[in-house]
Structure 1
Amino acid sequence: MAKVNRQMLILYALLTLGQMHAHPSWGIVVDDNHNIYFADLFHHGVGSVWKLTANGELQLLLRDFHAHNVNLDADGNLITSNGEGLQYMVRISPAGHQDTLIQSNDYREFNGGNAAITPRGQIFFGAEKYLWRINEIQQKEKIGDFEFGWNQTVFADRDGNYYGPDIGGGIGRVIKINPDGMATVFADELITKFDRPWDPHFEVLLGMAEGCGGAIYIAEVAGKRIIRMTDHGEAETYYTAEGYWVPSGLTFHECDAYILEFEDHQGYHGPRIVRLTAEGGKSVVFDYDTYQRGQFPGIPAQEPRHRGDWLAIFGMAGMAILILTLVRYSRRRVIPRIS
């Protein structure tokens, strides 16, 4: 019995640690007043949503909220979804008023972890290998009949077309579904290949955006790059991140690109935001870790931690103590390997 209990405790510890930061968020948008909104899974419990004002003030909009994506509707409201536990989409007005647009306890009815709105305000999401939209009577309906192998993100352009990357098998392609439900392969063989088995958690395609000229862009994590795709089937590298930084998503505003990045080296760091101007300039607009140290110009130092943050810290400390205790105990008895 003691052996089984030790195995279960170690398995629980490994699973819990692995779930803390299994993947980055990819949502980022810029409004007409040059405020930047972005999702962040690395801070404040299961995640947070931030607003970086044009004056450099960082504001926490949502805490303990597991958001992958963010959008802006035609009225300048921020739209984002929680994808852990209760699946729900919220709308936050420029004045800060918040209301819920849709919610479900069943991700098959609404998947907050893979959801977005179209430029016309329609809610759609990916679940069970298909894309779905919410109709006028708040019911889901299938968008076409294309069956994805593995889809993690969704996007819609200004012409009413839907897009979903399909990383099934490690090939890496983007599927385009027109308003009538007709699916075509928009681009393929997008994932960088390595001399090793495909890693479905890191060798993926994430955030997408539409550029000023109508081209579609997507973040390719394994190659640390942003890919530019056209209707002619062309795909080329638009941007490659420096060092250990990895782009996970992007948006365009006034033809400038704003790229959301994280660092994957000795643990996750970030997020940070890189701006590429239409004239070819490049600058780091925001770096969360530098901001935490109070070294980022124009951005106030971090506010005192709140109760939820301290609980997260104590929880991780407790987990570390548990693992150390198990390691010490295992010196007297061999703990079978858990596969």
Structure 2
Amino acid sequence: MKRFISIIFIISGLIAHPSWAITITHDGTIYFVDVLHNETGTLWRLSKDLKLTAVLTDFHSHDFHVDKDGILWIAQAIWKTGSVEGEGINLLFRFDPKTEKLDTIIETRDWDLFYGSAIAMSSTNKSVYFSIHDRILRKDLNGSTHFEIDQVFGHVNDLALDKNGVLWITDTQKDNGAVYKWSNNKLELVATQLLKANHAEPIFEEKRHQFLSALVFDEQNRPYVSDNYKRQICRIDRSGPKLIYQSEKSWYPAGFCFDRNSALIIMETGWGRGALGPRIIRYNLQTQKKEIICDKL
């Protein structure tokens, strides 16, 4: 019975902190990571004709960064059994979708040198931003690690680089859900109250499991953010957040990206009688047509 309860606790913990990274290549191939299948997780490929393939198995990753050349920089934090968060091995990989070759760029047991959870590469790919203990650090790929920003944040879930090379940061605990941007050594609070809702139906009632999820930019360099409280994707405008997509009950948009036709490709994760998904959805922003293109995981 204790073993059964432990398994349920582990699964609910993973679904409360799922993967949020998904991308689509120029030829229409979708890659995404998930921590609920094939032992510790999987890097999946969904082809243009919707054939699903596990590219890497027993591969535990929550986040990856996609650079301007379409290269995936994949973060990985491998815990030791019974350890506290961050202990174990932290890795950064370079994955080329054209060849599906995986190269190890960073491997360390010191989480103060690099932690493989939320990451963003610099615009030159010569350094990587990461978050640990709700601080933002920067590691030169061939050198040292230093604090990039002096501020201690509340709870950082995602980092993202916009098309101008500006770093953006989500903070779930600041002002009921906030987004910052970091440019020219200046931190600017861009949006607050992103988790404010009158009638939300969150995936989890526990506040510690309610958070902002993915931070993404469209072709016009406009920022979007998803969450598991309102279960929405919102565009961050000067006038406030604008609702773009609403998930069905028991599901939320863990991660998303835009295809070449500006449709949303959404990775939804859920919780019902156990873990749900992930499933992949194509959502036309003009017609608001929703199509589930992968739900066989």
Normalization by structure 2: what TM-score? 0.85
Matches within 5 A, 1:11-26: 14-22=5-13, 23-26=17-20
Counterpart CA distance in 1 for 2:196 and 2:60 is 28
Establish whether residue 63 from structure 1 lines up as the match of residue 57 from structure 2: yes
CA contact (8 A) 2:156 2:170 kept: yes
Please tell me the residue identity of whatever aligns with 2:128: I
Matches within 5 A, 1:129-278: 129-135=134-140, 137-168=142-173, 171-178=176-183, 180-193=184-197, 199-230=206-237, 232=238, 234-254=240-260, 255-278=262-285
Please tell me the residue identity of whatever aligns with 1:82: Q
Establish whether residue 53 from structure 1 lines up as the match of residue 47 from structure 2: yes
What residue in structure 2 maps to residue 314 of structure 1?
none
Q: How many residues align?
A: 279
Matches within 5 A, 1:39-50: 39-50=33-44
CA contact (8 A) 1:118 1:157 kept: no
Distance 1:21 1:51, change over 3 A: farther
Cα deviations by residue, 1:104-151 (Å, 9 ceiling, x for unpaired)? 112222111222324543421111221122226332222222220111
CA contact (8 A) 2:106 2:141 kept: no
Please tell me the residue identity of whatever aligns with 2:115: N
CA contact (8 A) 2:91 2:107 kept: yes
Please tell me the residue identity of whatever aligns with 1:251: C
Cα deviations by residue, 1:193-219 (Å, 9 ceiling, x for unpaired)? 579998344310011100122210011
Shift in Å, 1:21: 4.1
Distance 1:134 1:55, change over 3 A: same
Establish whether residue 128 from structure 1 lines up as the match of residue 133 from structure 2: yes
Unaligned runs of 5+ in 1: 1-8, 293-339
Counterpart CA distance in 2 for 1:118 and 1:252 is 21
Question: 66-75 or 268-277, which moves further after superposition?
Answer: 66-75
What residue in structure 2 maps to residue 298 of structure 1?
none
Shift in Å, 1:249: 1.3
Matches within 5 A, 1:110-121: 110-121=114-125
Please tell me the residue identity of whatever aligns with 1:142: F
Establish whether residue 30 from structure 1 lines up as the match of residue 35 from structure 2: no
Unaligned runs of 5+ in 2: 80-88
Counterpart CA distance in 2 for 1:16 and 1:259 is 28
Question: 197-206 or 44-53, which moves further after superposition?
Answer: 197-206
Query: SS at 2:117's partner residue?
Result: helix
Structure 1 runs (4+) deviating above 6 angstroms are: 194-198
CA contact (8 A) 1:221 1:247 kept: yes
What residue in structure 2 maps to residue 336 of structure 1?
none
Counterpart CA distance in 2 for 1:13 and 1:148 is 36
Q: Pick the structure with more helix per residue.
A: 1
Counterpart CA distance in 1 for 2:167 and 2:247 is 27
Question: 270-279 or 95-104, which moves further after superposition?
Answer: 270-279
CA contact (8 A) 1:272 1:284 kept: no
Please tell me the residue identity of whatever aligns with 1:182: K
Query: SS at 1:54's partner residue?
Result: coil
What residue in structure 2 maps to residue 92 of structure 1?
95
Counterpart CA distance in 1 for 2:154 and 2:145 is 21
CA contact (8 A) 1:172 1:191 kept: yes
Cα deviations by residue, 1:318-339 (Å, 9 ceiling, x for unpaired)? xxxxxxxxxxxxxxxxxxxxxx
Normalization by structure 1: what TM-score? 0.75
Shift in Å, 1:241: 0.8
What residue in structure 1 maps to residue 86 of structure 2?
none
Shift in Å, 1:275: 1.5
Distance 1:215 1:169, change over 3 A: closer
Please tell me the residue identity of whatever aligns with 1:72: V
Q: Highest CA radius of gyration, 1 or 2?
A: 1
Establish whether residue 108 from structure 1 lines up as the match of residue 112 from structure 2: yes
- Note the aligned Cα RMSD (angstroms): 2.5
